[in-house]
Amino acid sequence: MAGGKAVQQLTILGSTGSIGANTLDVVRRHRQGYRVVALCAHRQVDQLFAQCIEFQPRYAVLGDAALAADLGRRLSAAGCATEVEHGPDALVRMARLPEVDTVMAAIVGAAGLPATLAAAEAGKKILLANKEALVMAGAFFLRTVRENGAVLLPIDSEHNAIFQSLPVDYAGDPVASGVRALLLTASGGPFRGMGAAELASVSPEQACAHPNWVMGRKISVDSATMMNKGLEVIEAHWLFNVPADRIQVIIHPQSVIHSLVQYVDGSVIAELGNPDMRTPIAHALAYPQRIAAGVEALDLCQVASLQFEQPDLACYPCLTLAYRALGEGGRAPTTLNAANEVAVQAFLERRIAFTEIPRVIGEVMDRMPAGDELNSLAEVLAADQEARLMAEDAVAHRFSR
């Protein structure tokens, strides 16, 4: 017990990524309040081994059998009793564990959807860092959350900021709450101000060098194309039930204001802080209380000035594609996400240029009609796979030229 409250039992999906590592850093500062039950990673054996030695979870999961066997031998030799499993089915089991209260959903991309959905079906408190769950399966995922009494708290800094800036009793009705618009801030990434000619020759290393945030390679490229912000527009629509025409993206290079809510009376409420993911993680872990996150207090005098500008859609066509997908509905957002994942990976592997990422996505969206709403995991995964195959074909044609 900690302060009269039960210790939260945690599963962390994606423990070796930046969100997972930051979650463990917050837990490290509050060991009396949190117990790590399961740690799940893909291939980072050394990092997962170190996490298991420190936090002594009951379970650890890796992506394949050989890696899991290696981790199991190393943990046994070190006297650690953690049970090691592997594969997607194990991720789902970790999300459903009866002793687990809270699931940090931080696996990047479509790979995180089945386990995140399993957490919703099991009625868990879900700390949602995997935006693809809402992008790919928004209506279906939220319906699952409601029907099973799960609790959904956003971890993305922008959505967490909006959550904090909305009324405490906000129930998904922006009109009743006097909400005029949601303003999502974006740093503009490492290529803000560049022209199309310059963008055509940028490298994966340049795209991954974010000016303000420390993130994984895929999400860093998404930030550079502003697809990350486009996915966040779709996520905000589902989280807060606000239509696309009332969700605005603004460039804010300092990343101090994480997002804002504009009200009909003229008020604008914002959440500010240093760009550190431990802030939204700590907020969601302890909600509705507050706990220290290890984040330095914001010094407004040191910040001195805050800049804002409209995004240049000619330089960020991925943002336009995301608004298009949200407007079309059906499986269009699933198509958008799948094609983007394929295109980003092709760019990281130097098979296509940076400026070809939106061209691949647009081509796939043109070829795949939006169709009806997806109503099951099987339907979502089938649409995802079809879009991936089409995107791989589009990449192959470009790579062969």
DSSP labels for 139-166?
HHHHHHHHHTT-EEEE-SHHHHHHHHHS
Q: Report pLDDT for 2.
A: 41
Question: Strands, DSSP E only, in 215-263?
Answer: 247-251, 257-263
* Alpha-carbon gap, residue 315 to 339, rounded angstroms: 19
Parse the chain into domains and list their residue ranges: 8-154, 156-275+295-313, 329-401
Residue 126 near residue 103, CB atoms below 8 Å: yes
Domain 329-401, second-level architecture: Orthogonal Bundle (1.10)
**Other CB atoms closer than 10 Å to residue 95's CB: what's the count?**
26
* Alpha-carbon gap, residue 40 to 95, rounded angstroms: 10
206's tokens: 């340049």
Q: Report pLDDT for 274.
A: 94
Estimate the crossing angle of helix 113-121 against helix 88-96, to 10 degrees: 30
Estimate the crossing angle of helix 113-121 against helix 132-147, to 10 degrees: 10
CATH level 3 topology of 8-154: Rossmann fold (3.40.50)
The whole-model pTM stands at 0.91
Residue 223 near residue 213, CB atoms below 8 Å: yes
124's tokens: 């868990």
* Alpha-carbon gap, residue 384 to 375, rounded angstroms: 13
Q: Report pLDDT for 312.
A: 85
Q: Is 339 helix (H, G, I), strand (E, B) or coil?
A: helix
Q: Report pLDDT for 401.
A: 59
Q: Report pLDDT for 399.
A: 67
The structure tokens 């290079």 sit at 253
- List the chain pLDDT tens, one digit each, 401 residues: 344 568 999 999 999 999 999 999 999 999 999 999 999 999 999 999 999 999 999 999 999 999 999 999 999 999 999 999 999 999 999 999 999 999 999 998 888 999 999 999 999 999 999 888 899 999 999 999 999 999 999 999 999 999 999 999 999 999 999 999 999 999 887 777 777 778 888 888 888 876 666 667 888 899 889 999 999 999 999 999 999 999 999 999 888 999 999 999 999 999 999 999 999 999 999 999 999 999 999 999 999 899 999 998 888 899 999 999 999 999 999 999 999 999 999 999 999 999 999 999 999 999 999 988 899 999 999 999 999 999 999 999 876 65
Q: Report pLDDT for 362.
A: 97
* Alpha-carbon gap, residue 274 to 228, rounded angstroms: 20
**Other CB atoms closer than 10 Å to residue 388's CB: what's the count?**
18
